[in-house]
């Protein structure tokens, strides 16, 4: 993986490919390359960023057909040789590929036995050689690609061009997204709409097992058995302006700052002031069906999983339905019991997270009722589930999730309110939650105003090699997300534990060199949380407390005080200062905030 762009039309392809790759660089960025077709294939690829690639693409790199790729390594170290595109030995076929070919070793051995010499360590190069062999035996590139893919085990999103057929591009998808963009006498393809919105907002999403042939004047799609398929274009709501930094130093800071607006969009049209309920028509469930569920199981990966933990707490408190969250990557492999009385909720910002998508497909196969909470309209998970909630948070470019995390948490509050009001949540409690949700955007604005003060605290703590994050019940998933943010963008080691678990082992780590960030909301567990702070301070540990009031000076070295909402909704607000803390720590340490090392935004491989 991770980013694919393709173009065919009357313009020079190279500038379009480079601009598209720049927009996809958040998905993967250890190497990049482009190839254009003009009386043969012209290739440039480098280890490094898209900016490094642009420096080696000459001005006279002409051609109206081309494909490009920005890579996040899975097979082979980052290098010029392992960068995509990959060419066949005869320089006729060029391929870019996201995903993992699981039987690449076996296929490579057969090709080498036939005398093929490989130039890279990648699994992708296998495709180039196989398609080159197949194209000699078939009348069309599309047939060669289709037949080749029958021998592939694994996941792929690919784009293929043939130097001898300069009027077409073939793309295919299985487990890794491919989006076709429809222009005026020109066609595009990419792994994400981010690469397309400058040129077109009319798109078609390929399904798993589907291929498409793009020509300048149109396209057609077909299944792996060569059966033609019909596709209706969708209009993308986002435009190129959504992918600009908007004057902020980093996308991450922009996206943190956008949260009052994105949260408002998530709630827009969904709160009923009269009956104190949430309207979620996209769930495709009536009240009788909703009342029939006896349990809720939430699945997601990374920050989506942590927002699922906040969601499970909200559902249990407001709807009084047993609920829990689990990493999708674990859920799909442990042969789970799928209960018809359980509502399954899949979370993914991109809607393409492979582990989550695979878990959804397994649940559907076993007859589970699955709804999705996703940000990307038309994404694979959105198409696979029975219904769901779109976040409408706008594109999230920075690798670390912020506005999607809080919008997901708000979506869970809406879902919990919806489930609660068709069960036993009183109108008075419904009104209390509705009013609390209405207050959230303004309260986030107040927290954002503390940015400079939090930046100073971040500088104070950034040089510590490791930090502990603790919280109880509602505060524990907040602590987990806070630790995740710090480690992924600042590279400071961070661990999160339930506060009550410190004395069962982790307290051995506490000392002057290991500061603790303590999540201390003003709720029924306040006194117990303050006792935990005392235990840490008694062992020489430094404490940064995030909560609703100033504690005794003996219990904390530093405090971030935030506005108070309803106790069920407070975790959403408690998340914001931890985002700012991680961001400013990363800036203080000189990290690449938007593109942290070794990570990719949309993880479409296992």
pLDDT tens-digit map of 360-417 = 999 999 999 999 999 988 888 999 999 999 999 988 989 899 999 999 999 999 999 9
- Token output for 407: 């919008």
> Identical fold at 255-425 and 446-596?
yes
CB 75 within 8 A of CB 9: no
> 45 Cβ partners below 8 Å, 6+ apart?
31, 32, 33, 34, 53, 80, 83, 84, 85
Token duo for residue 351 = 């809607």
pLDDT tier for residue 267 given thresholds of 50, 70 and 90 = very high
Whether the predicted pLDDT of 282 surpasses 90:
yes
Q: Which CATH number fits domain 255-425: 3.40.1280.10, 3.10.20.340, 3.40.50.800, 3.40.50.10490?
A: 3.40.50.10490
Structure tokens at 115: 């005398």
Q: Is 350 exposed, middle or buried (0-12, 13-18, 19+ CB in 10 A)?
A: buried
Known catalytic residues are 2, 601
Q: Would the pLDDT of 1 be above 60? A: no
pLDDT of res. 606: 62
446-596 maps to CATH 3.90.1580.10: no
The pLDDT, as a whole number, for residue 561 is 97
Phi-psi region of 463 (alpha: psi -120 to 50; beta: other; left: phi over 0): alpha
pLDDT digits (tens, 9 = 90+) for 76-90: 777 888 888 999 999
Residue ranges covered by each domain of the chain:
3-238, 255-425, 446-596
CATH of 3-238, one of 3.40.50.360, 3.40.50.620, 2.60.120.260, 3.60.20.10: 3.60.20.10
Average pLDDT taken over every residue of the chain:
92
CB 8, CB 215: distance < 8 Å: yes
Give the pLDDT confidence score for residue 445 in this predicted structure: 98
Give the pLDDT band of residue 599 (cuts 50, 70, 90): confident
pLDDT of residue 26: 63
Neighbours of 185 (CB within 10 A): 10
Q: Which position has the higher pLDDT, 79 or 96?
A: 96
Sign of CA dihedral 282, 208, 352, 325: positive
Burial class of residue 137 in the structure, from the number of CB atoms within 10 Å of its CB (0-12 exposed, 13-18 middle, 19+ buried): exposed
How confident is the model over 508-531, as pLDDT tens digits? Answer: 889 889 999 999 999 999 999 999
Residue 164 has pLDDT above 70, yes or no: yes
Give the tens place of pLDDT for each residue, 402-425: 999 999 999 999 999 999 999 989
Name the pLDDT band for 605 (thresholds 50, 70, 90): low
**For residue 136, is pLDDT > 90?**
no
Contacts for 289 with CB less than 8 Å, ≥ 6 apart: none
């Amino acid at each position: 993986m991770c980013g694919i762009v393709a173009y065919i039309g009357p313009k020079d392809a190279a500038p379009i490919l480079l601009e598209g790759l720049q927009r996809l660089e958040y998905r993967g960025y250890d190497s990049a390359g482009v190839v254009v077709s003009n009386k043969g294939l012209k290739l440039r690829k480098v280890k490094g960023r898209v900016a490094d690639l642009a420096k080696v693409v000459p001005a006279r790199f002409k051609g109206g057909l081309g494909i490009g790729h920005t890579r996040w390594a899975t097979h082979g170290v980052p290098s010029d040789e392992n960068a995509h595109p990959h060419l066949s030995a005869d320089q006729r076929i060029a391929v870019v590929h996201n995903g993992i070919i699981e039987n690449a070793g076996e296929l490579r051995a057969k090709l080498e036995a036939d005398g093929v010499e490989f130039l890279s360590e990648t699994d992708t190069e296998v495709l180039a050689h196989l398609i080159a062999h197949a194209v000699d035996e078939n009348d069309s590139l599309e047939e060669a690609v289709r037949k080749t893919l029958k021998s592939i085990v694994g996941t792929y999103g690919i784009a293929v061009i043939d130097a001898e057929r300069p009027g077409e591009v073939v793309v295919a998808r299985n487990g890794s997204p491919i989006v076709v963009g429809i222009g005026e006498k020109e066609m595009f393809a990419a792994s994400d709409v981010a690469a397309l919105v400058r040129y077109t907002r009319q798109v078609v999403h390929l399904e798993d097992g589907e291929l498409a042939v793009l020509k300048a004047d149109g396209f057609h799609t077909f299944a792996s058995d060569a059966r033609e398929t019909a596709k209706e274009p969708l209009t993308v709501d986002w435009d190129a302006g959504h992918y600009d930094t908007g004057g902020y130093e980093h996308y991450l800071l922009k996206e943190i700052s956008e949260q009052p607006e994105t949260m408002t969009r998530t709630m827009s049209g969904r709160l009923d002031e009269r009956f104190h309920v949430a309207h979620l028509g996209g769930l495709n469930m009536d009240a009788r069906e909703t009342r029939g569920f006896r349990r809720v199981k939430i699945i997601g990966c990374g920050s989506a999983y942590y927002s699922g933990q906040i969601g499970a707490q909200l559902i249990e408190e407001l709807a009084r339905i047993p609920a829990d969250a689990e990493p999708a990557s674990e859920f799909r492999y442990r042969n789970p019991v799928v209960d018809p009385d359980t509502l399954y909720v899949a979370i993914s910002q991109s809607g393409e997270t492979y582990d989550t998508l695979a878990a959804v497909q397994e649940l559907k196969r076993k007859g589970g009722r699955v709804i999705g909470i996703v940000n990307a309209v038309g994404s694979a998970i959105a198409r696979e589930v029975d219904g769901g909630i779109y976040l409408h948070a706008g594109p999230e470019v920075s690798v670390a999730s912020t506005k999607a995390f809080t919008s997901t948490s708000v979506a869970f509050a809406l879902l919990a309110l919806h489930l609660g009001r068709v069960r036993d949540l009183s109108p008075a409690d419904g009104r209390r939650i509705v009013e609390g949700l209405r207050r959230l955007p303004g309260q986030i604005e107040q927290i954002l105003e503390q940015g400079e003060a939090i930046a100073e605290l971040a500088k104070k703590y950034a040089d510590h090699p490791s930090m502990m994050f603790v919280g109880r019940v509602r505060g524990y998933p907040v602590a987990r997300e806070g630790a995740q943010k710090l480690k992924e963008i600042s590279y400071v080691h961070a661990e999160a534990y339930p506060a009550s678990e410190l004395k069962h082992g982790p307290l051995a780590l506490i000392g002057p060199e290991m500061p603790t960030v303590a999540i201390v909301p003003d709720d029924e567990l306040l006194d117990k949380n303050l006792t935990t702070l005392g235990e840490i301070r008694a062992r020489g540990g430094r404490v940064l407390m995030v909560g609703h009031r100033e504690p005794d000076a003996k219990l904390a070295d530093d405090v971030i005080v935030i506005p108070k909402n309803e106790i069920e909704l407070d975790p959403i607000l408690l998340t914001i200062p931890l985002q700012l803390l991680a961001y400013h720590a990363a800036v203080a340490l000189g990290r690449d905030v938007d593109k942290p090392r070794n990570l990719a935004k949309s993880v479409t491989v296992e």
